[in-house]
Copies of this chain bind each other. A is one copy, B any other.
Amino acid sequence: MMTQEAPLETKRDEDFNKWYNEVVEKAGLCDKRYPVKGMNIWTPYGWKIMSLIDSIIRSEMERTGHGEVCFPMLIPEDQFAKEAEHIEGFFGEVFLVTHAGENKLEKRLILRPTSETAMYPIFNLWIRSHADLPLKVFQIVNTFRYETKQTRAFIRVREIHFFEAHTCHRDYEDAERQIKEDLEILANIMDALCLPYIVTRRPDWDKFAGAYYSLGVDTLMPNGRALQVGSIHQYKENFSRAYEITYEDENGEHKYVHQTTYGMSERLLGAIVGVHGDDKGLIIPPDVAPIQVVVVPIYTKETKEEVLEACRWCLSQLRDLRVYFDTSEDRPGVKYYRWELRGVPLRLEIGPRDVENRTVTLVRRDTGKRDEYPRDEVSKACMGLLKDIKKNLKRLAEKHFIEKTKSLSDLNEVINGINRAPWCGSEECAEQIEVTSEKSILGIKEEEEGDCIVCGKPTKEWVYFASTY
C-alpha cells in the first residue's frame, strides 16, 4: 500500500537530494504527505529499521547500567525557563500548548525539544546522597522543534525520533569518565550501522545551550555534506545550579552534581540511506535490516512444488535470521528489483537446478556477486556473507570518508568534503575560515602541531569544516 513498484529515476551521484527523496519514498521508509510541515508518517518498513536501531541503542544502554525512563512530553513554561542560556537557545523553536478545549491553561506547556528541563527538577528529588550517584537514565521518545529551514525526511523534521541519555555525577572527573563511556557506546552503535564518523568539540559560540562544552558527532554524505548524527554534552554544574540538584557527600557537605547528556536521532537512518545507498536503492546494514535474507523461488508450473519445498527447508535452517519468503505471483525479476530497492542485504534463490544439485544461490546486495553453496550449509553461508557484507559496507564508507577528508595548508585548497586546518583559537580567524571556505566549522580536535591557516600562529588545535545539513 505504501510503496511503489517503479525503478529509481535518479542516479545518486547526479542529483543526491532528489535521489534521497526518491529512495525514501519508493523504499517505503516514510510518507511525507502528512499535512503538517516536517512531520512525516513512519511507514512499517522505515519504522522497523528505526526500531532495530533503537534496540541496539537500548542494549548498549543496558550494558552500561542506564535505566530506561519515559518522562512526560509537556514541560511547564516556568520550569523550562530556569536555565538562562538554555531557554534563550530554544525558545524561538518550541511548540506551545495554551489551551485545553476552549479553556485557556493557567500555565502554558511546552512540547519537549529535549528533556533537560523535564527531568532535572525530578533529579533534584531523586538524588539525596553520594550513594545515589552516578544516576544514569535514558529515554527514546519523540521531540519537537519548530524548524524554519527546509525540511528533509529523517534529517530535518519537526517531530524527531530521539534517544537521550542523562547522567549525574559527584564531580567533573566522574562526568568525564561518563563521556569516555559514551564515546565507546557511540563506537559500538556506529559499527553496527557501518557508519564512519568524526567527533569534534564544538566551538564555544556554537555549543549546546547550557553546556560547558559540546562534542558533535558527524558523518559524511556522498554529496560532501557533513551530517551531525549525535552530540555529547558536559554540563558541569550549569544545570544543577539552576535546578538545585545537590547531594550530600561523605563529610556531610552539600554539593552540586556534574551532568552530562548524550543524544542521537533518526538522522542515523538518514545517514544509512545516504552513506550506503546506490542507484538501485537502499543497502541496509545487516544488523538493522528488517529482512536480512529474502528467499526467492524460481519455478515453472512443473517444478513449483519441489522448489517451494526446498525453500521451506532453508527457512527452517535460518530461524536465527530475519528472513522473508517472497511467495507472491510476481516474476523473479520483479522480486529482485523490489528487494534491491529496499536494501535487503542478501537474496537466496532456489531454482529447479538448485533442487537437483541440493544447492542454493546467494546474491549479495552490496557487490551483486552471486555464488552457489551446498544447501546443507545454507545457514553457515548466510551468516558468513552477512558478516562480510557488514565489513564491506564499513570499509567502503570509511574509504569514502577518508578520501573526502583533507588537511589544508591553504584555504584555496578547500574540498567538497571535510576540511581540516590548524587554527590559533581566535574567533576572528575562525570567521575568516568560514567566510573564505564557504563552509561551517564542525568543531575542533587537538592534534599535531601546525600554523594557524589564517594568522600563522603555531597551534595544536585543528578545526574541521564542511558544508553541513
Contacts and interface: CB of A to CB of B under 8 A. Distances in A.
A43 B31 contact: no
B97 A1 contact: no
Contacts of A96: 97-101
Nearest to A147: B100
A109 to B, nearest CB: 7
Interface string A86-109: 000001111111111110000001
Contacts of A111: 97
Contacts of A36: 72, 74, 76, 109
Contacts of A95: 74, 97, 99-100, 109
Contacts of A35: 76, 79, 121
B99 A33 contact: no
Contacts of A91: 101-102
Interface string A1-12: 110000000000
B101 A92 contact: yes
Contact of A135 (B1, B67, B76, B100): B1
Nearest to A145: B100
A94 B100 contact: yes
Contact of A39 (B34, B41, B72): B72
Interface stretch (A124-132, A267-275, A373-381): A124-132
Nearest to A168: B1
Contacts of A44: 67-69, 137
Contacts of A121: 35
A207 B276 CA distance: 50
Interface string A144-163: 10100000000000010100
A127 B76 contact: no
A159 B40 contact: no
B93 A100 contact: yes
B69 A122 contact: no
A70 interface: yes
A142 interface: yes
A47 interface: yes
A71 interface: yes
Interface of A: 1-2, 31, 33-36, 39-44, 47-48, 51, 67-74, 76, 79, 91-102, 109, 111, 118, 121-122, 125-127, 132, 135, 137, 142, 144, 146, 159, 161
Identify the 5 closest CB pairs spanning chains A and B, nearest first: A44-B67, A100-B146, A39-B72, A42-B70, A96-B99
